[in-house]
Structure 1
Amino acid sequence: MSSIMTPQKVLQNFQRCANWEDKYLYLIELGDRFCLLPVNEQTNDHKIRGCQSSVWITLTQNNNLIRLAANSDAAIVKGLLALMIIAYDQQSRQHIATFNIDAWFEQLQLTQHLTPTRAIGIATIIKQVQLISRE
């Protein structure tokens, strides 16, 4: 069995969580596991504007696949970034353009459990990633 994390596996794991406290703990665990942007790349050039937390994202292309790396100083935001990495990292521009991350977040029931500020922030980050991946 593959150990690669997929949106479907995240959904299955979320559904196994007993309550939202468990889901938040799982999100934090994903953030620690997937948000590995080195400190030397956490620069103003990679910082996302308009977020309450500090958020850094890098996108590079390798063999027509987008490499997404990210980090944040906030645990829940790191978890949300990890979800984006799971959805977008090592994927084609076409996949990033067509993957309905909003629908996936709905399936995870994330949208109603995020503060309005955090929901707006993550939507902003997703739009920026999609925009950058089209360049």
Structure 2
Amino acid sequence: MSLPIEATEALQTFQSASGWEQRARLLMQFGDRLPPMEDADKCEANRVHGCESQVWLVGELRDGHWQFAASSDARMIRGLVALLLLRVNGLSAAELKQIDLPDWFNQLGLSRQLSPSRSNGLNAVLQRMNELAG
């Protein structure tokens, strides 16, 4: 399964980072670039359960391809979610089910950043995406 263009670019950016501090800074920048979510979308119905911090997710099917939007009240999580969105936006429901989350963050060099609770939270986000995609 090929990577979306934005995911490929993100991967190259992270792989050329010289060390952990630079990757952490990049992570924050990706989170800051996440398009703001409408306040109306930040409701209980869109909240992802299983995350320690607040994460909201909405999805829309366009021509057989999913487009997700998300936000979080935690900056680090926002960055991780932004990178997850780059990886999954534009995929079909079938492709979405094949996403290997640990492998994606491993390729980005961010595995160290994924504490068990963050990892569980991101898995909850991916699971919610799959539920929306049905």
Aligned partner of residue 105 in structure 2, secondary structure: helix
Moved more, 89-98 or 45-54: 89-98
Q: TM-score, normalised by structure 1?
A: 0.86
Is 1:58 the counterpart of 2:58? The answer is yes
Mapped to 1, the partners of 2:5 and 2:37 lie a distance apart of 18
Aligned partner of residue 98 in structure 1, secondary structure: coil
Among all aligned residue pairs of Structure 1 and Structure 2, give the percentage whose two residues are the same amino acid: 26
Mapped to 2, the partners of 1:102 and 1:27 lie a distance apart of 16
Q: Deviations over 1:19-73 (max 9, x none)?
A: 2121111111111212432222111110011211110000111221111000000
Match of 1:114? Answer: 114
Aligned partner of residue 69 in structure 1, secondary structure: strand
Aligned partner of residue 131 in structure 2, secondary structure: helix
Q: Aligned pair count?
A: 131
Equivalence map 1:43-54=2 (5 Å) = 43-54=43-54
Is 1:34 the counterpart of 2:40? The answer is no
Mapped to 2, the partners of 1:114 and 1:102 lie a distance apart of 9
Aligned partner of residue 6 in structure 1, secondary structure: helix
1:91 Cα deviation after fit: 2.2
Moved more, 104-113 or 64-73: 104-113
Give the conservation status (yes or no) of the 8 Å contact 1:87–1:101. Answer: no
Mapped to 2, the partners of 1:123 and 1:16 lie a distance apart of 26
Match of 1:24? Answer: 24
Runs of 4+ in 1 over 6 A off after TM superposition: none
Mapped to 2, the partners of 1:48 and 1:25 lie a distance apart of 25
Give the conservation status (yes or no) of the 8 Å contact 1:67–1:89. Answer: yes
Match of 2:79? Answer: 79
Q: Which runs of 5+ in 2 are unaligned?
A: none
Give the conservation status (yes or no) of the 8 Å contact 1:32–1:79. Answer: yes
Q: Which amino acid aligns with 1:121?
A: G
Instruction: Please tell me the root mean square deviation across aligned C-alpha atoms, in Å.
Output: 1.8
Match of 1:11? Answer: 11
Q: Which amino acid aligns with 2:84?
A: M
